[in-house]
Every structure is written in C-alpha cells, then in structure tokens.
Amino acid sequence: MTVTLADVAARAGVSSATVSRVLNGNYPVADGTRTRVLRAVDELQYVVNGPASALAAATSDLVGILVNDVADPFFGIVASAVQSEMGGEGATGTGQKLAVVCNTGGSPERELTYLTLLRRQRAAAVVLTGSAVEETAHSTALADRLRHLAASGTRIVLCGRPPLAPRDGTGEEPALAQDGIVTLAFDNRGGSHRLTAHLLTLGHRRIGYVTGPAERSTTRHRLEGHRRALGEQAPEALAEAERLTVHGGAYDRSAGYDGALELLRRAPDLTAVLAANDTVALGVCAALRDRGLRIPEDVSVGGFDDLPFAADASPALTTVRLPLHEAGARAGRLALGLETPPPGDVATVRADLMVRASTAPPAPR
C-alpha cells in the first residue's frame, strides 16, 4: 500500500541504503545515481516514514516549543521566531525540522506531560519559553526531567525564563549551568527598574502595581526591579508599596481591570499604575476610563513587553520593550546547534524603556 525505501530502490535500480544516503545527503553518492534516485522518489511520490527513521537513527526531527499561552501574542511572537529558524534546506527531507508549539496553559502538570510526550518522540530539541512556576516540588521535578532529556541527547533551550536551579539546591540562578542547558533570560528586573525610575523622575510618588500570578518568576523579578527603584529614589514611597500592590490571577486583561479597581479603592489618590505586562495594562486603562479618569492627565499607566498593540493603544502605552523576535530566533538557532552558546550557557537579553503617551507628570494637587 504505502511506498517504501525498497520500492524506490527497486525502481532506481540501486540498494535501499543508497536511497537513504541520497535522501539524507550524509554520504557521497555519484551524481548519476543521485538523479536517478530522486526521479524515482518523485515518480513514486515517496514520503519518508518518520517513525521508522527516528527509530533507526534514535533521534527525530521534531522540535518542541513549550509556551504558557498560545493565545497570547507574547508567546506567538517568540514561537514564530523560533520556527522561522527551522526552515530547513528544502531538499527532499534533508534537515527539515518539524517545529511544533505545545500549549501548557501555564500548568506545571501539562508542562511535564508535554516533556514526556516529546521525550517519547525522541525530540531533537525543546525550547521552553516564558515565566517559570516557582514552586519547589515542581521546579525540581522539571529540572530533573530536563536534565534527563538533555542527557539523552535532546537539546534544551530556556527562553525568557531564568536558568535552572543547580542540582544541589544552593543559591538561586547560578551564573553558569553545567548541564548543557542554554538559557536566554530577559532582564525583567532591570527593565522594571527603569520603568519605575521613569515614573519617579516624572514626580510620581503614589504608584500602584498590578502584578501577574504570584508564583511565577517573571512576576517576582519585575516586582523586585520596581521595589528596588522605589527604595533608591523614594524610600517613603516604598513604605506603602505593599499596600499599592495587587496580585493578578493571570497575565490577562481582566486581571488588569479588576486590579485597577481594587487599587483605586485602596488609594483613590494614586497618580500612576504599573501593570505586569501590556495586556494587563490594557485592562488597567479600561478600568480607569470606566471610573472617569483620563490617561495620562489623571493617572499614568505603564506596561511591559511592548507587544505590537502597545504602540497603537490610545494613548500609546509607555512600556518596556523585550526583543521577542530576536530572542526567539536566537533560541531557535541554539536549539539547532547553529549558534554557539553564550559563555556559561546563560545570556541576559536587554529590556529597553519605551516612553510614550500614557505617562506624564502627575497633575498638580
């Protein structure tokens, strides 16, 4: 029923090994036979049997990309960037990687499940993107599984999340990993610090903050940058930072909307609100508007990530730009072994402040 290597071989008058060789292009083959084989492949509409070749070669051409939420453009951009590097040579089956994105929904269990499924497929590489869940049981289970995978030949790249904790469990975020797992971390702390500093410099002192889910690394890092800036430039504001912080249940619009309302309840006189990311910021803006507050005249708003819509919002959103496409592409190349890993296998990706119309000096009282 289905065409096999042997069929092609027979048709081309060569052995199946030869066919395999021209298809994979790993060994020298005479030009004449090569064209003959390719013609046979074409005539028979032959398609390699992936499982069979994966079994024999003990490795497949599957590359997994784990994301927390496919419906979030943040991940869409990163994923598409990773995939853009997998184009492949175009030859009949040569090097063509099948880059697939797996949606964990932010659930640690699904994350582990996907890892198992990818391991089962003998994936060539796995790229994990976005914030990690900071819960000891899960982090160690995850680190464990990733190290196993790495040991069994699957390349692992962490993009937009902190490095794995070292096996011995001492300290956090070691400067260098020792297991071949490459990390591209975003400078969330730095970016957040710059954003808050910008607000403080404008003269704001009562700054609300709607964070992301409490257990995620990104949430913590951005909050740390924020608090550090407060501590440095406005110690008095730091005192009530706790009261002006609301933890959102997700990185979504409604977290921003609800969070902003809660902040307004706690401190009707706040002059600025920072959000966990741009999507949350949009929710914040909606809530402020619904309360009759103008942006930025009455309240300034700041986001994070600089997703495409941030510049188009009205007013255009002041935010922190993360080079998502660039980072994703680099992660893709690292996953394919096309780029040499950074020293110590950990690199930090910059996060630049983008000042736009949603922030302005606070109104004189």
Partner DNA sequence: CTGTTAGCGCGTTCAT
Partner DNA sequence: ATGAACGCGCTAACAG
Which residues contact DNA by CB under 7 A?
Answer: 2, 4-6, 13-18, 20-21, 23-24, 26-30, 32-34, 48-49, 52-53, 55-58
Closest CA to 277 of 255, 300, 292: 255
152's contact among DNA, its own copies, none, with CB below 5 to 8 A by partner kind, is its own copies
Least separation in angstroms between residue 239's CB and its own copies is 33
The residue within the footprint of its own copies, chosen from 40, 77, 197, 317 (CB under 8 A), is 77
32's contact among its own copies, DNA, none, with CB below 5 to 8 A by partner kind, is DNA
Least separation in angstroms between residue 160's CB and its own copies is 15
| Footprint on residues 226-285 left by its own copies (CB under 8 A) | 253, 282-283, 285
282's contact among DNA, its own copies, none, with CB below 5 to 8 A by partner kind, is its own copies
Environment class of residue 239 by beta-carbon count within 10 Å: exposed (0-12), middle (13-18) or buried (19+)?
A: exposed
Which stretch in 110-118, 189-197, 202-210, 240-248 sits in contact with its own copies by CB under 8 A? 110-118
26's contact among its own copies, DNA, none, with CB below 5 to 8 A by partner kind, is DNA
Least separation in angstroms between residue 251's CB and DNA is 38
Least separation in angstroms between residue 344's CB and its own copies is 28
Least separation in angstroms between residue 1's CB and DNA is 7
Is residue 289 part of the contact set for its own copies (CB under 8 A)? Answer: yes
Closest CA to 188 of 41, 352, 331: 352
| Footprint on residues 173-212 left by its own copies (CB under 8 A) | none
Cβ atoms within 10 Å of 325's Cβ, excluding its own = 14
Is residue 107 part of the contact set for its own copies (CB under 8 A)? Answer: no
The residue within the footprint of its own copies, chosen from 10, 29, 38, 100 (CB under 8 A), is 100
Question: Most distant CA pair in the chain: distance in Å?
Answer: 89
Least separation in angstroms between residue 145's CB and DNA is 18
Q: Let me know: does 282 contact 256? Beta carbons within 8 Å.
A: yes
- In the complex, the residues that contact its own copies under the rule CB under 8 A are 1-2, 47-55, 60-62, 64, 69-73, 75-77, 79-80, 83, 93, 96, 98-103, 105, 113-114, 116-122, 152, 253, 282-283, 285-286, 289, 308-309, 312, 314
